[in-house]
Amino acid sequence: MMTICEVILPGRIRYQPAWDWQNVLADERGRDLAPDRLLLLEHPPTYTLGTSGHDENLLLTPDQLAAQGIEVLKVDRGGDITYHGPGQLVGYPIIQLPRVSETLRADVIGYVRKIEQVIMRTVADYGISSKPIPGLTGVWVDTLNGEAKICAIGVRVNVRAVTKHGFALNLNTDLRYFDGIIPCGIADKGVTSLSALLGAPVDETEAIRRLIAHFGAVFEREMIVSYLQPNF
């Protein structure tokens, strides 16, 4: 029998409450009080700096941020600065990674590679070829202007080998928000979205359905949609 993974679809949530909720769910999973879960949601415009974040990669002043209604948070995922916002499919897997024993760490790199596979299979459904780039996180596509990131990935794995944070796949994202940062601290590569590559808006409900199916296949989970909602 395959391991169950509950899929939670809460809609649009501000970043801080969603982060707090992840911590609650990760604690429940680590104490075997809940199954694996996959949160799929959307944030209002937000820049987050990970544990490798550099303030100089945020290019907007506080006044400019306020005028555009963009929040800025420093968070405990890996990586530098990225953008979250409407039209972007954000995924937070809260899953228990296997360990050989209590003294050995989980295979975090292998976990990230699986997330990349989920994303690459999802965009392939739309006829888009994508790839990882050695030494860089995320999923990339070749464009007329060079390599561009279509999905950012930044994770954290706690002491109980439970995952937090995850990925941000650009579906119908307004890419102009990326002009306010140096995305992931990488100045010589661009950012793109599925709609930009296809030249038309993407049905986000259909994209979610496809991603859930690929997540289940790659992680060998039985995906069950849950109606659990945050209590904030």
* Residue 63 DSSP SS3: helix
- Spot the catalytic one: 184, 202, 207, 208: 184
* Residue 83 DSSP SS3: strand
Place of tokens 């809260």: 94
**27 token code pair:** 């604690």
Catalytic (active site) residue 184? yes
What is the rounded distance in angstroms from the CA atom of residue 170 to the CA atom of residue 190? 13
Exposed / middle / buried, residue 56 (Cβ in 10 Å: 0-12, 13-18, 19+): exposed
Residues 6+ apart with CB under 8 A from 56: none
Report the 3 state secondary structure along 9-46: EEEECCHHHHHHHHHHHHHHHHCCCCCEEEEEEECCCE
What is the rounded distance in angstroms from the CA atom of residue 229 to the CA atom of residue 123? 28
Q: Which amino acid is at 87?
A: G
Helices assigned H by DSSP within 78-184: 108-124
> Catalytic positions, please?
184
